[in-house]
Amino acid sequence: MFHKTEDAAMMEDGKKMITGRVVLQKKNVLDFNDLGASVLDRLHEVFGGNISFQLISAIHPEHESSEGRLKGKLGNPAILEDWITTITPLTVEDTEYEVSFEWDDKIGVPGAFLVKNRHHSEFYLKTLTLHDVPGHGHVHFVCNSWVYPSKYYLKDRIFFANKAYLPGETPELLGPYREEELVILRGNGSGELKEWDRVYDYAFYNDLGDPDHDLDDARPVLGGSTEYPYPRRGKTGRPATESDPETESRIPLINSLSIYVPADERFRHVKLSDFLGFGLKSTGQFLVSELEALIDSTPNEFDSFEDVLKVYEGGIKLPVLEKARKKIHVELLRIISQTDGEGLLKFPMPQAIKGDKSAWRTDEEFAREMLAGVNPVSIRLLKEFPPTSKLDFKVYGNQNSSIKRYHIEAKLDGLEIEEAIKTNKLYILDHHDSLMPYVRRINATSNKIYATRTLLFLQKDGTLKPLAIELSLPHEGGDHLGAISKVYTPFEHGVESSIWQLAKAYVAVNDSGVHQLISHWLNTHCAIEPFVIATNRQLSVLHPIHKLLQPHFKDTMNINAFARQILINGGGLLEATVFPGRYAMEMSSVLYKDWVFPDQALPVDLVKRGMAIEDSNSPHGLRLLIEDYPYGVDGLEIWFAIKTWVEDYCSFYYKNDDMVQNDTELQSWWKELREDGHGDKKQETWWPKMQTCDDLRDTCTTIIWIASALHAAVNFGQYPYAGYLPNRPTISRRLMPEPDTPEYDELIEDPDNVFLKTVTAQLQSLIGIALIEILSSHPAEEVYLGQSGCPNWTMDSEALKAFEKFGMKLREIEGRIVERNNDGSLKNRVGPVQVPYTLLYPSSKEGLTGMGIPNSVSI
């Protein structure tokens, strides 16, 4: 952005000078300066090892590139001033420096600059602002990049002025620089990548297992096969394991934060990175090894629901060993122990039990959370009765539902089943076909699950009423003999009521696993990473679509790399706390076969699940069949706000379809995304062709939706709802008690104890609670949808105006969300647990809030 000011100052020798203001952050570690690096940097300064900048002209040539093309004229090097005398803050803060450029009229307005770091250490370069540029005023360069010592680079680092150009519109003299930068970012495909590298490349998920440690720790390679298709991850280039040449070796757990991602994808906010790194590492290492023998007189079990509440109200007494104090990072200690030295394991009270400790057990709340809980994306309209299976009959036999008319017909407010279906009154939460192929293998472990189907009825007050739950097991004689199923219906009293509560728990276990593996990990974290990689490899930072999408990719590669290291790896926290265990990631690969990119668009998803129909008389041409569907109502407002913003933005740069078709970078980006990033889906015909402005707008809207609102909807409600594990158990350890068995007699005598012995055990519960508290929290530096981390992110005024309009629209949506939550007639907005639906409320303060839509999948 240019601001008119006075012309450049004059030096004593008559040369013109312009002043630049550089904003950077020096290398910091664990919230304090790396003093050794700081001393070495100062020594480098004393002996001439400085930081220099050179302006690059966008209008005057100097020399030809290696391909014989003209490149912009370089100005004389200018040295960063006062490095030694500038006091660096003890926290991660911006530091400002001056740099004086000798002005050459032949340079004209600079289109880029080079920076050379001759220091010992890297620094994070945020911005360079040139003051008093003759004829132009202020010129801004937004950098936001780690600059390592020049010895690590083949070419000096280049940064461009923050004006967007399509490839064919790039100033001719900047074209070679633009193309060279993309070549650097693609790398050469060989060798192990180091922390200073900036290479974006693809790899299979072949680093989840550790066969060199134990063959039992081996895991299948996900991606690159028809058996286990998967999106690609960022490449690290680590060598293969000795035991299996197809599996990439792993780095030690203690080095988790050093796992390779391109330098600018690493967590920049030190508190966040350490909180995640040390917090999760300590959860895994300390809790598993120390808590098992320390918790209480009945290790691994909660004795009662009162015992569960102690986790939040009074805490569980733990001897705090000296070695534990040394191993646990201060942030995790803040979470899991009180500061009085008593060693009290205590967590914040989850919202689901703040107002009423038992409302979570009601049928209304059980059903409401399918519309307004942490997994509101699985429920669908029932279109046939009884429900049928799509599993291969030759392999799995008859898997159709055994729910009969007599199970539900008396509970349909006088309607026949056919009439209820015709009037869109019946809904289903179906976790049968997705889980049945794995039930036998999972049940051979300590976990015991069922494939489940849950039928629900839409009542006149807009709430859902559970009608029946079907629990299914594979036939003992073999899969080909079909399912053995039992149907359970609601009861309010007696042992039948306890059985009904257990049936709901089995459904909640399945829904928790599907949520974590599919709705959350696969459909947001995993699916978006190829877009991050392809964008950086094929779209220059000058490209308007790069500028549009880049904020929605922040920290995603880093959090995913860290997940591979400690969460989704073989023997990691996910396998330890979610029912599929060692089959978790394999199962997500099988379900990726059903992933369709256009279906990730919210309107398409709602119609596909039967939750909405096209209706020209409704807002945006879509009508929800459940009028009070909080995720659907709020989500559609957010979706169309994003869509309008994307349309406004793209229309500034693409005036017609020909401009889309002739954009070489855009076409390379879309080709690589399909053929490499989601390479196992490259033959699918549903991919947008990227031939029209509509293709581009729809694609970008969907990408932004996935990375922001969809992820927020399925992530930040984890602690409010699942922080109380009985409400969202992740493991079931027993099958349903059968009459005339000791387990059934125990259920009659002490139903609460049986419930707690059936669902997630105490140790896994504590690990899970610690984990989702971290994952549900916002850091102080979070940037939310409609916000920008830099006010000068583009110099294109029309784009800035459209973005401001987008932010104002989101503020209006916030007001309407509050109004709906205060409307007592909308019973699904708050529910029996008295938790207002705010997961799609765009902004938030830091911490555990149950609201806020960050720009990206960053946690």
- Which of the residues are catalytic? 520, 525, 711, 715, 859
Return the number of other C-beta atoms located less than 10 Å from residue 141's C-beta.
24
Report the distance separating Cα 348 and Cα 501, nearest Å: 26
* DSSP, residue by residue, 623-680: EESSS--HHHHHHHHHHHHHHHHHHHHHHHH--SHHHHHT-HHHHHHHHHIIIIITGG
CA–centroid distance for 525 within its chain: 4
* DSSP, residue by residue, 307-355: HHHTTTTT-EE----HHHHHHS-HHHHHHHS-TTSS-EE--PPPGGGTS
In degrees and rounded to multiples of 5, residue 74 shows phi and psi of -95, 135
Beta strands in 441-551 (DSSP E): 451-458, 464-474, 483-488
CA torsion angle 544 114 134 546 (round to 10): 10
CA–centroid distance for 604 within its chain: 21
Question: Between vectors from CA 635 to CA 815 and to CA 708, what angle results, nearest 5°?
Answer: 100
- Here the tokens at position 561 are 């790399």
Report the distance separating Cα 660 and Cα 654, nearest Å: 7
SS3 state at 222: strand
Written as one letter, the residue type at 713 is A
**Sequence-separated (6 or more) residues with CB below 8 Å from residue 778:** 716, 844, 845, 846, 847, 849, 852, 854, 859
Report the distance separating Cα 461 and Cα 826, nearest Å: 8
**Sequence-separated (6 or more) residues with CB below 8 Å from residue 735:** 448, 450, 473
* DSSP, residue by residue, 178-200: HHHHHHHHH--S-S---TT----
Written as one letter, the residue type at 649 is Y
SS3 state at 98: strand
**Sequence-separated (6 or more) residues with CB below 8 Å from residue 283:** 332, 573, 767, 770, 771, 774
Nearest to 840 by CA among 824, 818, 823, 825: 818
**Sequence-separated (6 or more) residues with CB below 8 Å from residue 169:** none
Question: Between vectors from CA 401 to CA 431 and to CA 514, what angle results, nearest 5°?
Answer: 0
Q: Count of alpha carbons within 13 Å of 588, Cβ hemisphere only? A: 32
CA distances from 100 to 88, 109, 129, 338, 406 (A): 21, 16, 11, 53, 85
Tell the burial category of 477 from Cβ atoms under 10 Å away from its Cβ (0-12, 13-18, 19+): exposed
- Here the tokens at position 839 are 């997961």
- Here the tokens at position 388 are 């049928």
CA–centroid distance for 752 within its chain: 35
Report the distance separating Cα 577 and Cα 581, nearest Å: 7
SS3 state at 383: coil
Return the number of other C-beta atoms located less than 10 Å from residue 522's C-beta.
21
Report the distance separating Cα 124 and Cα 32, nearest Å: 15
Written as one letter, the residue type at 24 is L
SS3 state at 161: coil
The answer, yes or no, to whether the previous bond of 239 is cis (omega within 30 of 0) is no
